[in-house]
Amino acid sequence: MTTDVLISEVGPRDGLQSVKATMPTAHKLAWIDGLHAAGLREIEVGSFVPARLLPQMADVAEVVRHALTRPGLTVMALVPNVRGAEAALASGVHKLTLPVSASEAHSLANVRKTRAQMVDEVRAVVALRRASAPKVRVEAGLSTAFGCTLQGPVPEDDVVRLAVALAEAGADEIGLSDTTGMANPAQVRRLFRRVRAEIGERTGAAHLHNTRGLGLANCLAAHDAGVRTFDSSQGGLGGCPYAPGASGNVVTEDLVFMFEAMGVRTGVDLDRLMAAREALRAGLPGEPLYGMTPEAGLTRGFTYADGRVPAAMKGTA
């Protein structure tokens, strides 16, 4: 299916690492299957970190093996360093993403490295990829790009300089993340345009949070600035354990509805996406799930951007 934007589902990693409960592996696999059946074609399925630090990710290699059997799916995993990248590449992932904080305070809290050290880490991962798995893409996610609860405001010039340094280190994509939910639409539009002016098509995904209710507005601002890949999490699951108060990823269901209602093709089927939500609920019973679209339902007369009618609405007046 032809799409205008790519919705990159990060719930199985970003979402699950932020809740106390550990989803059983069988439920993770069923959830990923449901997301794939809904039309999502890039899923961050886990992170390669020590199980003692994130027990929720202890089964990541098994999850990757299963996800690789889903046709047309780009299987992505987060890695904080070369050691994690070695394990991820051995598992067969299609894409690595490394967290590089624009805030020095957050960088030290999150990965115990300075920003300069993380640029060196990205360079080393790129070299490893080049030698062992040249088709794998390397993404650097610039976290706390719009502000930090530990440091406070993050100068835009710092973000732009860091994006350039990561491009020079060989990262294929450099995305911007509103890790702490502090961004506003004007800021998002301005910063993405500044970064794109410096690194061009290497400008990657918008990873935006709904902490203060501006998630969708910020996604629209990023789209206005030329962004075409958007991270989101089903049910709004997730946040950042090393950024106090950083709750609330953008809800995948709401993001898909917004774009499709605007005439922007996502390739995602909302009926099947709601079915995947039930798989998530079964795997994390009692965990709060968010989203306005799942609660309110589709609008009367809603059609997808390509003219399709949702299955649930066929035959209705």
Instruction: Give the model confidence (pLDDT) of 203-216 as tens digits.
Output: 999 999 998 899 99
Q: Give the tens place of pLDDT for each residue, 91-139.
A: 999 999 999 999 999 999 888 899 999 999 999 999 999 999 999 999 9
Sequence-separated contacts (24+) of 107-112 with Cβ below 8 Å: 109/150, 109/242, 109/243, 110/143, 110/240, 110/242, 110/243, 111/80, 111/81
Q: Return the domain boundaries, the chain.
A: 6-313
Q: What is the residue whose two structure tokens read 């860091």?
A: 162
221 pLDDT tier (thresholds 50, 70, 90): very high
Q: Quote the tokens at residue 249.
A: 């990823």
Instruction: Provide the annotated active-site residues.
Output: 240
CATH number of 6-313: 3.20.20.70
Range in 167-181, 185-199, 210-224, 230-244 with the lowest mean pLDDT: 230-244
* pLDDT-above-70 percentage for the chain: 96
Asked if 306 and 266 count as a contact pair (C-beta separation under 8 A), the reply is: no
Radius of gyration of the chain (CA): 18
Asked if 77 and 96 count as a contact pair (C-beta separation under 8 A), the reply is: yes
The answer, as to whether pTM is greater than 0.75, is: yes
Q: Give the tens place of pLDDT for each residue, 246-271.
A: 468 999 999 999 999 999 999 999 99
> In the predicted model, is pLDDT for residue 243 greater than 50?
no
Range in 9-13, 229-233, 238-242 with the lowest mean pLDDT: 238-242
Q: Provide the pLDDT for residue 77.
A: 98
Q: Provide the pLDDT for residue 18.
A: 86
